Homo-oligomer: A and B are copies of this chain.
Amino acid sequence: MEQTIGIGLLGAGTVGGTLVRRLVGESSSIAAKTGLAFDVRRIGVRDATRPRDFEVGAGILTEDTQSVVTDPSVDIVVEVMGGLDPAGDLILTALRAGKPVISANKELIAARGPELISAAAEAGVPFLFEAAVGGGIPIIRPLSETLAGESIDRVLGIVNGTTNYILSQMDDEGAGYADALAEAQRLGFAEPDPTADVSGADAAAKAAILASLAFGTWVGSDDVYYEGITSIDADDIAFAAGFGYRIKLVAVCDRTDAGVNARVHPMLVPEDHPLAGIRGATNAVFIEGPAIDSLLFSGPGAGGDPTATAVLGDVIDAARETLAGAQVAPRIRFGNGHIVPFEEIPTEWYVRLVVDDQPGVLASIASEFGKAGVSIRQVWQEDVDDRASLIIVTHGSLESEQRTAIDSLKGIPEVHDVASVIRVLGPET
């Protein structure tokens, strides 16, 4: 006894195309496991005449995206077109018409999540987005359902495969950033315009979603501080290794009594931390809570096939709930928690300075750190001709104090360059 569900697809790029091929090619195994049959009834695209790597019947491909969500034969809408417009309004239209929506659009969800989730709740239909974070890694559902009863304290994620690939290459090959980026582009791990990835913006949208689901307090894109990897130097990777760390671009979401915070920045991660071993384009999410201690999820964070698996899981789930004919209660609610500004969060820093190699320099530097209220954990000096690289690792102190300390260093005549400033996943933060 199979029931056929009509699917309307918004977008037919890598993920959309893969999804169509799998809904057709794997229909019998999906039906055997779930008792459900799916029929792709409309696919909204920008150019319906463009050749596609899948076959569908005449009239299914359309440039009239609105018709995808309004077509009465479409039971579930899958949005894999990306971008804020028109994806957001199309999703709202579908939800208000009582259709479950599956989206892989992290940018949109991080920007308009509460509005979309409320619209789904009002209509009593599911709005699911497992594919928005971590590609094929099941993470949205575990966070919002399996761990609903856990008071999660912290989520640390390597959620951008491009930057992790570049940093891994720099680490393995001793390559500079530019060379590693070029290699990543050649192999298809980085886009021709890599800005969204290397700037940290892509990871920031994912951090917003992870924090919101983990803590039950809505954290939007605008609430997430982010820094990318463009200024990471091969020297820093080598120095960090000398101290027992690897440099990773980390999405950090944490909750304290004061509230919650989410941010993305490069970080020195201790070699024995599970995230330190995540190499190449792999993604991973590390979750800490009082009862579960820590959990690690890792796997492919992007790509058509893994992402299509995540979308397909949501489609099957939505179909199951819809067929049950129920008004579906939302899986998570957002309270009025406080978002703590990053400046008020304790951080630990690795600082690399180029200084004159002469007596008294360290004293001046240490004095500026002290005035800012930052104490120094570790100092390491390496001479290069008449200059020296001075590496300082600080104890935990407020982000604002760390920034004050760094700014003041620039006023010391013997300090020629504050070459690198990278936060540390340390024992106090």
Which residues of A are at the interface with B, using a C-beta cutoff of 8 A?
22, 26, 29-30, 32-35, 124, 130, 136-138, 141-142, 145-151, 216, 274, 277, 289-300, 305-306, 308-317, 320-321, 323-329, 331-333, 335
Instruction: List B contacts of A309 (CB < 8 A).
Output: 147, 149-150, 289, 291-292
B331 close to A320 (CB less than 8 A): yes
Closest to A323 in B: B329
Partner of A145, one of B35, B292, B299, B317: B317
**Contact assessment for B142 and A317 in the assembled complex, using a CB-CB cutoff below 8 Å:** no
Q: Chain A binding site: helix, strand, loop or mixed by DSSP?
A: mixed
- Closest-CB distance, A404 to chain B (whole angstroms): 35
Question: How far does the alpha carbon of A277 sit from the alpha carbon of B298 in the complex, in Å?
Answer: 14
The 3 closest A-B pairs by CB, nearest first: A149-B312, A326-B326, A138-B146
- Whether A325 contacts B326 by the Cβ 8 Å rule is yes
A–B pairs, 17, beta carbons within 8 Å:
A22-B149, A26-B149, A33-B148, A33-B335, A35-B329, A130-B146, A136-B292, A141-B142, A148-B316, A149-B316, A150-B313, A292-B305, A292-B306, A292-B309, A293-B306, A296-B297, A321-B324
* Least Cβ–Cβ distance between A75 and chain B, in angstroms: 15
Contacting pair A333 B136 (CB below 8 A): no
CB-based contact B32/A335 at 8 Å: yes
- Quick one: which of B295, B305, B328, B333 contacts A298, CB cutoff 8 A? B295
* Contacting pair B293 A299 (CB below 8 A): yes
Supposing A289-B309, A292-B309, A333-B33 touch, asked if A149 and B297 sit within 8 A by C-beta, the answer is no
CA distance A327 to B321 in the complex (A): 9
With known contacts A35-B333, A316-B148, A299–B292 Cβ distance under 8 A: yes
Complex interface: chain B residues within 8 A of A137 (CB)? 295
Q: How far is the CA of A172 from the CA of B136 in the complex (A)?
A: 34
Shortest CB-to-CB span from A307 to chain B, Å, is: 9
**In the complex with contacts A34-B332, A295-B299, A299-B292, A138-B136 CB distance below 8 A:** no
Collect the chain B residues with CB atoms within 8 Å of residue A124's CB: 324
Known contacts A145-B313, A291-B306, A327 near B329 by CB under 8 Å = no
Q: State whether A298 touches B299 (Cβ < 8 A).
A: no
Whether B148 lies near A138 (C-beta < 8 A) is no
Residue among B292, B308, B335 making CB contact with A300, cutoff 8 Å: B292
Establish whether residues B138 and A142, one from each chain, have CB atoms under 8 Å apart when the complex forms: yes
Q: Is A293 touching B297 in the complex (CB atoms < 8 A)?
A: no
Instruction: Take A324-B329, A329-B320 as given contacts and tell me if A145 and B141 are in contact as well, using a CB distance cutoff of 8 Å.
Output: yes
* Contact for A324 among B277, B289, B317, B326, CB less than 8 A: B326
CA distance A277 to B296 in the complex (A): 13
Q: What chain B residues lie within 8 Å of A308 (beta carbons)?
A: 149, 291
Contact B327 A325 (CB under 8 A): yes
Contact A291 B148 (CB under 8 A): no
**Docked-complex contact B295 and A136, CB < 8 angstroms:** yes
**Closest Cβ–Cβ distance, residue A257 to chain B (whole Å):** 13
User: Complex Cα distance A31/B136, Å?
Assistant: 30
Residues of B within 8 A of A130 (CB): 146
**Is the Cβ of B320 less than 8 Å from the Cβ of A291?**
no
Minimal beta-carbon separation of A373 from chain B (angstroms):
33
A146 to B312, CA, bound (A): 8
